[in-house]
Amino acid sequence: MPYVDFLARMAAIPGTSGYEAPIAAAFAEAFAPHCDEVHTDGVHNVIAVQRGSGAGPRIMLCAHLDEVGLMTLNVEEDGSVRFLSLGVAAQTLPAQAVRILTQDGPIHGVIGAAPPQMTDEAARRRVTPVDELFIDTGLAPDEAKRRIAPGTCVQLLGTVKRLQNERVTGKALDDRACAAILLDCAEQMQHRRHDSDVYYVISAREERDSLGALAAAERIRPDAAIILDVTHGEMPDCRPGETYPLDATVLFAGPNAHRKVTALLLAHAERLHVKTRIEAVGGNSYTDAWAVQIGCEGVPCAIMSLPLKYMHTTVEMGDQAVMRDQAHLLCEAVCAMRRGWEETLCF
């Protein structure tokens, strides 16, 4: 699968939490040729199904489609647009290009930043809080007030690019890179015999509350789920244990993950020579698994993570080779799951 080209197309489509309809339509179209049925539910989850022989469990594979962004609060008397953050750190925002998604079409703007010649050293060292930042659209104040309503979604702009050594960088790799992994898996599964009915869920609202994934789980009632999300890749100045190599698949260990589903993935990773690391967390994984695990009287979940540098920015960076490895690993693990699969594993 050509990950860079696909991610470049998907990253350009709006999809902040609460505004997922455009990106949901794009993912539904992408999965349709490879699945027996595809539909989008009332909260803009995309659910694509590949039917198996019926002799296996019902499996849910999940990655989210929403991205971090901003939301407008009001327009000031001078026409500047105040906003709040939906998952974006304040220090990454000055001098960013944005697109305000109004009802009558997008309005481009920039987040203003004072030039260094007009600030003292203390101001240059200080992170400007979000409530002191503003978007400059170039519109006259009256027109800005008329066209930009409070609560309008704002998309950060950035392009996806191929770097050296299989690296790819750009916006919304969290979590559209993992959704692309699921699409790659679906393409492979299309040509394989499998006993399980496989439900690919590209979920809404993960960046806010994961209620999209919970709604999907309640609808599907899976026997097991594997949640794909991102974790922090190795970066300078991070403490040991906080980050993971970009060239490894990270599997979660802790109360939010079921040991036998995780053991299944580890067994196939070893067989396929897929490099893995374990992320041990004693509580919330801050992924869709936190919601899915308690759906339908309880769902056994595993969490497979793609390490990303610079998460929640417009230059997130991941490794395409790991994406391909994860798609292959998922395909092999799902094909191996038959009724009673959990009885064959020890931990």
Give the ranges where the chain is alpha helix by DSSP (H): 3-11, 21-31, 121-125, 141-147, 173-189, 211-220, 259-272, 289-292, 320-336
| Most distant CA pair in the chain, distance | 70
Q: Report pLDDT for 346.
A: 45
pLDDT one-digit tens code per residue, 120-131: 677 667 888 999
β-strand pairing of 58-64 with 197-203: parallel
The pLDDT tens digits for 57-90 are: 999 999 999 999 999 999 999 999 999 999 999 9
Mean pLDDT of 246-258: 96
With tokens 């100045």, the residue in question is: 237
Q: What is the CATH number of domain 3-67+171-344?
A: 3.40.630.10
What are the residue ranges of CATH 2.40.30.40 in the chain? 69-156
Q: Are 60 and 213 in contact (CB under 8 A)?
A: no
Lowest mean pLDDT among 163-167, 190-194, 312-316: 190-194
Instruction: Give pLDDT tens digits for 208-233.
Output: 899 999 999 999 999 999 999 999 99
| 69-156 is classed CATH 2.40.30.40 | yes
